[in-house]
Chains A and B, each alone.
Chain A
Amino acid sequence: GENVEQHPSTLSVQEGDSAVIKCTYSDSASNYFPWYKQELGKGPQLIIDIRSNVGEKKDQRIAVTLNKTAKHFSLHITETQPEDSAVYFCAASNGNQFYFGTGTSLTVIP
C-alpha cells in the first residue's frame, strides 16, 4: 500500500519568512496530492492541490511542487503571517483512497 512521510513534524518561523514542508510517497499509482490546513478544534481545510501531470502550482502565498521521479512533493508558504499557524497535512491519492502524512505543526512567530 501507499506510505506517505511528512517532515518536519514541527516548524517555527519568524513572521515574513518562508516555510517549507516536504512529503514523500511510495506508490507510483498516486496521481493527486492535496494539502490541508487544520486549525485547533476544526476539520482540515483543503488549501491547495496538485495532480501528477503538473510540476508546480501556485495560489497567492502558497505553492506546491511535485517531483514524480523522486516521489516527493512540497508545500511552500511565503511571507508567513501569524494566521498561518496551524497543522498542515499532505496526502496522496490514487483516485480511490487518500493516504495522509503525520502532519506538521507550523508556528509563525510575530
Chain B
Amino acid sequence: GAVVSQHPSWVICKSGTSVKIECRSLDFQATTMFWYRQFPKQSLMLMATSNEGSKATYEQGVEKDKFLINHASLTLSTLTVTSAHPEDSSFYICSARATLTGELFFGEGSRLTVL
C-alpha cells in the first residue's frame, strides 16, 4: 500500500524553540496534504489543508503564524511549530491525498512534548 513517511516520530523541545515536522508521500504524488492534531482518546482535529505550490488553508482557531505549513513539492509538506509552548504538546498527524486515486493515507504521527 501507499506509504506516507512522517518524522520525527517524537520530539522533545524547550519552550520558545521551533520544531519542524516533515511529511513525505513515498510512492505517490499528493497535490493536497492535511495536518491534524489529536488529543488523547479523541478524534482527528483538522488544523490546515496544504496544497502544493500555494498557501495553506487554516481551520478556524488555528494560528497560521504559529503553525507554519509549507508544501513545496508534490511529495513533501512540512509543519513548523514556532515558539512552542507546553500547551502545544500533542500528537500531530499528516495525511496525503493521492492525486490520481483520491485515496487518503496517513503518516505515523509525531509526538511533540514542549518542556
A residues near B (Cβ < 8 Å) are: 32, 34, 36, 41-46, 49, 89, 91, 93, 95-98, 100-103, 105
Contacts and interface: CB of A to CB of B under 8 A. Distances in A.
19 contacts: A34-B103, A34-B104, A42-B108, A43-B95, A43-B106, A43-B107, A43-B109, A44-B44, A44-B95, A44-B106, A46-B104, A49-B103, A93-B102, A93-B104, A96-B32, A97-B49, A98-B95, A98-B104, A102-B42
Contacts of B104: 34, 46, 91, 93, 98
Contact of B44 (A93, A96, A100): A100
Q: Interface SS of chain B: helix, strand, loop or mixed?
A: strand
Interface string B68-109: 000000000000000000000000010101000011111111
Given A41-B111, A102-B42, 5 more contacts: A43-B4, A46-B104, A46-B106, A103-B42, A105-B41
Interface residues of B, number: 22
Contact of B43 (A34, A45, A89, A98): A89
Contacts of A97: 49
